[in-house]
Amino acid sequence: MLDIFRVSSHLLTAFTGHTDFVYSIDISTFNDCQLICSGSYDKTVRVWDVETSKQIQSFNKHSAWVYCAKFSPYHYYNHNQNVICSSSANKTIRFWDFKHNRQLQEFNGHNKWVGGLEFSPFNGGRYLCSGSGDNTVRLWDVETSKPLHVFNGHEYSIWCIDISPLQSNSNKSNNIGVIGGNGYTICSGSSDKTIRIWDIETTKQFIAFEGHQQALNSVKYGSNELMNTILSGSEDKSVRLWDIRSGKQIQVFNGHTSEVWAVAYSPFVTNNIDIGEISNVICSGSRDSTIRFWDIRSNKNSLHLIKDCNGILCVKFFQLKKDMKRKSDTVCDVQFVFGDINHFVSMFDFLIEFIQIYFFH
């Protein structure tokens, strides 16, 4: 293990087809086939085959821009259906069967555009959370197509949301309480500059983080040993790390020169020489056309920089299927996908030089 996080990256492929900003991407495996879905300002939802880089499906029934697109774990695990869920500025949430090219469900209830979406890690993804320009967070039952609760408290639009990760002592296929229980929470980031955390079972807000100077664009829960943290990116150009237990900010990462639209916990670690311990690595993407990697325990300069990426709006890490992995010991089989303002979904891989990489299971 070197003291410095030494990594190089290169572009593998670009998935072309969108004609405007790509706001959202998701990745999943269906019957041994790795797929990417994307949502765009061009009003379409598209599906791509990772191995061939070919578009295999496109839906254009939204009458306004699509902000978020997610594969539905509920439909796959419960009904063996290949389904994408998407949110739009036309105030709707829609479910698409991309294998049979048809719309399945439509949720109505928000009074303005719908932004971020997230499926529950418990109950087999039965519950869906959404944020909106109507200042509310809503929880939906995918099985019954009914709304369960409206969370009020934000003063302005809600662009981003996340649901706390599956707990190690829980079976994701079991019913856990009525709609969650066991301490599961929702976090939401808003144009009111705050991050709020809501208890799913009691439906009460119990934390509001303040510190960002402008709107929130991205919020993510940590997992494993970082499960009590939240990572956020904002139009104030900063990335911030928060501690849920203390209700306080831990770190601020400065370096981007434009608004930060995407944040993620990476699968990488580095050796922090200041504390003499292994430290996790986080990632951020910005409209300044850079992707930056940061030591989670240090607010010094970023560890690695990917430049000239044409305005990053969304990022996602994933691992290749076993039969697609390369044999070289110096190649880390972690792929990195991002969407940008130039209509592209692009995929990078990482070449790790003389550094041991740990994957969190």
The per-residue pLDDT for 180 is 46
The per-residue pLDDT for 12 is 75
**Cβ pair 232, 208 in contact under 8 A:** no
The per-residue pLDDT for 276 is 61
260, two tokens: 């930060």
The per-residue pLDDT for 333 is 57
CA 302 to chain centre: 21
The per-residue pLDDT for 104 is 94
Dihedral angle, C-alpha 270, 276, 277, 281, nearest 10 °: -30
**Sheet of 239-243, strands arranged across:** 216-221, 229-234, 239-243, 248-253
The per-residue pLDDT for 269 is 77
The per-residue pLDDT for 324 is 53
The per-residue pLDDT for 4 is 42
What own/partner pairs with CB < 8 Å and gap ≥ 24 does 238-242 have? 238/212, 238/213, 239/263, 239/282, 239/284, 239/294, 240/211, 240/212, 241/282, 241/296, 242/195, 242/209
Report mean pLDDT in 10-residue bins for the chain, 361 residues: 50 83 91 91 93 91 94 94 96 94 94 97 95 97 96 97 78 46 87 97 93 97 91 97 95 96 88 71 92 87 80 82 50 64 62 33 26
Which helix (H) or strand (E) element contains residue 360? Answer: none
CATH 3.30.470.20 is the classification of domain 6-353: no
* Rounded CA separation 231/250 (Å): 10
Q: What is the 3-state secondary structure (H, E, C) of 149-165?
A: EEECCCCCCEEEEEECC
